[in-house]
Amino acid sequence: MPLRGIKVLDFGRYIAGPYCAALLADYGADVIRIEAPDGNDDRYTVPVAGDGSGAMFLQMNRNKRCLTLKPGSPEGREIVRRLVAAADVVVANLPHDALVRLGLDYDSLAAINPRVILATASAFGREGPLAERVGFDAVGQAMSGTVHLTGTPDQPYRAQVNYVDFGTALHCAFGVMLALRERETTGKGQCVSGSLFGTALAMSNALTIDHALNGIERQPIGNRSYSSAPTDLFRTRDGWIVTQIVGAPIFRRWAELVERPELIDDPRYASDILRGDNGAELSAIMQAWCNPRTSEQAIDELAAARVPAAPVVRPSEALAHPQVAAMGLIDATAYPGTPRAAPVIRAPISLSASAKTAPKRAPQVGEHSDAILREIGYDDAAIAALRAQRII
């Protein structure tokens, strides 16, 4: 496994930090999640287990060990010092002032271990007028322009999936890998900094470049696309489907499928951007084609014509598709107190010569505290004293 031997301390919260650490754990890093003695708030979001642990927690914290700790106490600071001395990476998506207060800022960590890499993420980065503000995924979505463009002119919508958080975690994991590679040359660690705002702007950058260079202030157009058509959602006799018609060859096949070959040479539809500009007309044609068909019939005909399309499925249906099993995406992982194994999806990539580590469930609160403390020199009496003081 590529990251065997890499030790990671995960002080992360919710998604951006914990998912970064989970990706490292998937490929062999020894990740220690550090929580408050009664568990962190993010453990209990959307509870699914008998101990209150939530759906997001089971996903974000697979393959990790758990140490409970009050890191701001004098005893807790000494435990953190010992852990950092042996660590390769510290993940902490906390505001900078909180990092400094807990001694988890890069200068404090590097004074203990010059080889350590700090991966941190904030809402708006370290500099600028918003640097001290806190924020979650929706803040990044809203300030990147994408919420304005999603929905209708009367009602913007945010995405239900926290793509800004996940994107920030991916960027931070990428940064950690770069820092580990650089450390092979320099022998020194460094700070990897990500931000929700930066991630959101990166993901919406084509839209902001469009405005900067073309001067077009795009307005919300529902489920249609600005740069292709008919890219939209369509009602069928028994549900909904989506199509994404991009490029002249696919448009030609679509026009022939819906028995409108004259559209191929129509100057209004001569390019993707023109088709997007005139997308309402093309969506109307596609909707009329869908009206008499079930979703299955429509998808089968579109697939036969090699036109990209898919049914709009409920979350309850998403994992049941045979393609999910064929791709081996799910690691069914039992957690104490759940009615059945959780269908956890780990890093959805595969390496031809390197396997993921064997799947392990997320840890219970403080499950590995004693073992971790013994590894850094605490004996049973010292551990009992720390527990009696509610340090762990």
Last residue of a domain, one of 267, 282, 313: 313
- Token pair, residue 272, equals 């993707």
Q: Residue 258: inside a domain, yes or no?
A: yes
Rounded CA separation 88/24 (Å): 12
43 and 169 together in one domain: yes
Rounded CA separation 208/171 (Å): 20
Q: Residue 372: inside a domain, yes or no?
A: yes
Rounded CA separation 189/83 (Å): 16
pLDDT tens for residues 3-26?
Answer: 999 999 999 999 999 999 999 999
pLDDT recorded at residue 95: 86
pLDDT recorded at residue 1: 86
Q: Is the peptide bond before 230 cis (omega within 30 degrees of 0)?
A: yes
162 and 273 together in one domain: no
For range 31-56, the mean pLDDT: 97
Q: How confident is the model at residue 225 (pLDDT cuts 50, 70, 90)?
A: very high
pLDDT recorded at residue 107: 97
Strand ranges inside 189-269, DSSP E: 191-195, 232-235, 240-243
**Type of residue at 37:** P
112 and 249 together in one domain: no
**21: phi then psi, degrees, rounded to nearest 5:** -65, -35
pLDDT recorded at residue 210: 95
Rounded CA separation 292/265 (Å): 27
Q: Residue 338: inside a domain, yes or no?
A: yes
Burial class (CB in 10 A: 0-12, 13-18, 19+), 312: middle
Q: Residue 216: inside a domain, yes or no?
A: no
Rounded CA separation 299/147 (Å): 29
Q: What is the mean pLDDT of the chain?
A: 97
CA-to-CA dists, residue 262 to 251, 256, 278, 281, angstroms? 12, 9, 15, 14
102 and 156 together in one domain: yes
DSSP 8-class letter at 264? G
For range 185-190, the mean pLDDT: 98
Rounded CA separation 45/49 (Å): 11
Rounded to the nearest 10 degrees, the angle between the axes of helix 163-186 and helix 196-203 is 110
Q: Residue 29: inside a domain, yes or no?
A: yes
177 and 308 together in one domain: no
Last residue of a domain, one of 261, 287, 313: 313
Which residue range(s) make up the domain with 253? 231-313
289 and 335 together in one domain: no
16 and 98 together in one domain: yes
Report the domain count for the chain: 2
140 and 263 together in one domain: no
159 and 70 together in one domain: yes
Q: Tell me what percent of the residues of the chain surpass a pLDDT of 90.
A: 97
CATH number of the CATH domain containing 89: 3.40.50.10540
Q: Residue 321: inside a domain, yes or no?
A: no
Give yes or no for residue 64 having a pLDDT over 90.
yes
Last residue of a domain, one of 313, 347, 372: 313
235 and 189 together in one domain: no
Q: Tell me what percent of the residues of the chain surpass a pLDDT of 70.
A: 100
51 and 97 together in one domain: yes
Q: Residue 208: inside a domain, yes or no?
A: no
- Token pair, residue 224, equals 């249609």
Average the pLDDT over each of 92-96, 115-119, 221-225 and give the range with the smallest value.
Answer: 92-96
Rounded CA separation 118/121 (Å): 10
Give yes or no for residue 263 having a pLDDT over 90.
yes
Q: What is the C-alpha end-to-end distance of the chain, expressed in Å? A: 31
CA-to-CA dists, residue 41 to 45, 74, 369, angstroms? 7, 23, 19
pLDDT recorded at residue 291: 98
Q: In this structure, how many other beta carbons lie within 10 angstroms of the beta carbon of residue 34? A: 26
3-class state of residue 54 by DSSP: strand
Q: Residue 325: inside a domain, yes or no?
A: no
Give yes or no for residue 382 having a pLDDT over 90.
yes
CATH number of the CATH domain containing 307: 3.30.1540.10
Give yes or no for residue 145 having a pLDDT over 90.
yes
Rounded CA separation 285/123 (Å): 43
